[in-house]
Amino acid sequence: MAGQRPTIIQGGMGVGVSSWRLAKSVSQTGQLGVVSGTALDGILARRLQDGDPGGHARRALAHFPSPAMAQRILDAYFLEGGRPPGKPYRPHPTLTITPSRPAVELALTGNFVEVWLAKEGHDGVVGINFLEKIQIATLSAALGAMLAGVDYVLMGAGIPKEIPRMLTDFAAGAPAHLTIDVADQTRTHTAVLDPVEYLGADLPALRRPSFLAIISVHVLAGYLARDPEIRPDGFVVEGPVAGGHSAPPRGKMVLDETGQPVYSAKDEADLAKMVALGLPFWLAGGYGTPERVAEALAAGAEGVQCGTIFALASESGLTADLRQHIIDDVRAGTLHVRNDPLASPTGFPFKVAELDDTLSEPAVYAARPRICDLGYLREPAERPDGSLVYRCASEPEHMYVKKGGDAAATAGRVCLCNSLFANIGFPQRRSSGFVEPAAVTLGQDLVGAARLLAERPDGFGGAEAVAWLLGNAPAA
């Protein structure tokens, strides 16, 4: 791994927005490109069913340490020339606390492929982003990424205190464990993954990546930094305007007249206290301009993590149409991004860009039949008899209630799984002909993106965004 720490982290953006192409372009500048580690099993399955245009996934799979496992994935999903028109994607297995072997193999290979491609052909550093909230995916995703030599793991949306230990165990080739939060639990639930069980004699020597915890307030950083067992190697301090999910306001949630959470000074990290912890940290959420980068450095940060500006770069995983639509609205100054307290079934506030023909429009939302078939955001719950059930507040209400969920929790939820797959060109097409609509997240601070777009009438790539943020961009 390159010894120097990055000034710019191109933040992980799921699902597939921070694609291997984007992360690679940023990493090649000497900064940190981060692939999203969310749903890479499904992305690989769908990419292969679309015929793997360009052969990238197959090229990466040819380097997977277990050729037999790579072949099983190709046999299960690859369709030469892609699916016949109108044919839905076939389902792929969902992960659980005790997942099936095919589910784990798809996750291992999916994460390997994305990191391997981001690292191909250069020696820059590459990270992968996970969400603590999606706990049951973490073990297989992290091991898959480590098999490809990932340099950094970044994780937010929760308190990632077991991740340092997990990375250390995997690096030793040993089984790793994670405690899984289960609703209505009467006992502890633990997920385990033994690399030898899956890779056997093919298991290569693994290197422990650095771990950055994404947090919103210094109090959490202080808690994690205190104990060497749970201490990360650094922090990303993310404020409430950042794209994607955000921490809810501290204390009781209060909504303003537009129904958005109200944040106050209590939600701001004390940067002097961050400096005092002695671990490197980066600032995120509205830091996408050269002036904000300079401000972060002056405050004692190593640099910044940016998302929104990179989501609009030419290598982002968003479909070309959707990206152009967003760029047009940003240029026109008409794009509004709402912090929606209900949209995400995780219960975390989620930024939703208000764009025509996406689920942010009430008519598009109302026309979508509720269905939960990807299941990444399902939470496990214990039934009274002790057995486990998996439920998502975006699934059909009667099913959620049957699994012990509260009907009120289903209101206003968006199926992020299906819509985020649609954003990157893998929408499910139902046998009825219904095509899953998109739903876009972006940060609420569009200043950096608007300024760079004004300077670059033809748009920009990830490397150009880095140069601009660092103040070394050549004039357009």
Candidate list 42, 156, 234, 303; residue touching ligand FMN; CB under 6 A? 156
Stretch that binds ligand FMN, among 8-16, 250-258, 363-371, 465-473 (CB under 6 A): 8-16
What letter does residue 90 receive in the DSSP assignment?
P
User: Cβ neighbours of residue 381 under 8 Å, at least 6 residues apart?
Assistant: 182, 183, 184, 388, 389, 390, 391, 403, 404, 405
CA distance 217 to 208: 26
Part of the chain binding ligand FMN (CB under 6 A), chosen from 138-146, 202-210, 227-235, 239-247: 239-247
- Minimum CB separation of residue 423 from ligand FMN in Å reads 8
Binding of ligand FMN at residue 308 (CB under 6 A)? yes
Least distance between ligand FMN and beta carbon 440 (Å): 7
Q: Quick check: 452 and 306 in contact, CB under 8 A? A: no
CA 471 to chain centre: 28
Instruction: Tell me whether residue 73 or residue 154 sits nearer to ligand FMN (CB atom).
Output: 154
Cα Rg of the chain, angstroms? 21
Instruction: Indicate the residue among 11 and 99 with the shorter CB distance to ligand FMN.
Output: 11
Kindly indicate which of the ranges 66-74, 134-142, 178-186, 303-311 contains the residues binding ligand FMN, using the contact rule CB under 6 A: 303-311
Which residues have a Cβ under 8 Å from the Cβ of 472 and sit 6 or more positions away? none
Nearest to 466 by CA among 1, 11, 122: 11
Q: Binder to ligand FMN among 162, 238, 340, 436 (CB under 6 A)?
A: 238
| Nearest residue to 175 (alpha-carbon basis) of 160, 190, 196 | 196
Residue 428 region by backbone torsions, left for phi larger than 0, else alpha for psi between -120 and 50, else beta: beta
Instruction: Lay out the site mask for ligand FMN across 17-56 (x = CB under 6 A, - = otherwise).
Output: x------------------x-x------------------
Look at the block and give the residue holding tokens 């291997």. 20
Q: Which stretch binds ligand FMN (CB under 6 A): 382-390, 397-405, 408-416, 440-448?
A: 440-448
Is there a contact between 198 and 108 (Cβ–Cβ < 8 Å)? yes
Which one, 285 or 341, has the nearer CB to ligand FMN?
A: 285
Shortest-Cβ-distance residue relative to ligand FMN: 307
Binding span for ligand FMN by CB under 6 A among 46-54, 256-264, 438-446, 460-468: 438-446
Tell whether residue 311 is a contact of ligand FMN (CB under 6 A): yes
Nearer to ligand FMN, 73 or 322 (CB): 322
The Cα 407–Cα 3 span in angstroms is 51
How many Cβ atoms from other residues are within 10 Å of residue 278's Cβ?
7
In this chain, which of 6, 12, 195, 249 binds ligand FMN, going by CB under 6 A?
A: 12
Cα-Cα-Cα-Cα torsion 220, 224, 225, 229, nearest 10 degrees, comes to 180
CA pair distance 141, 138, nearest whole angstrom: 5
Residue 309: CB minimum distance to ligand FMN, A: 6
Of 13, 39, 146, 221, the residue at the interface with ligand FMN (CB under 6 A) is 13
Q: How far is the CB of 43 from ligand FMN (least distance, A)?
A: 13
Could you say whether residue 289 binds ligand FMN (CB under 6 A)? no
Residues found in the chain:
476
Among 110, 209, 232, 285, indicate the residue that binds ligand FMN (CB under 6 A).
Answer: 285
If one asks whether residue 315 binds ligand FMN (CB under 6 A), the answer comes out as no
Tokens representing 345 are: 């079934």
Token digits for 85? 């028109």
Residues near ligand FMN (CB under 6 A) are: 11-14, 17, 36, 38, 129, 131, 156, 214, 238, 241-244, 284-286, 288, 305-308, 311, 441-443, 445
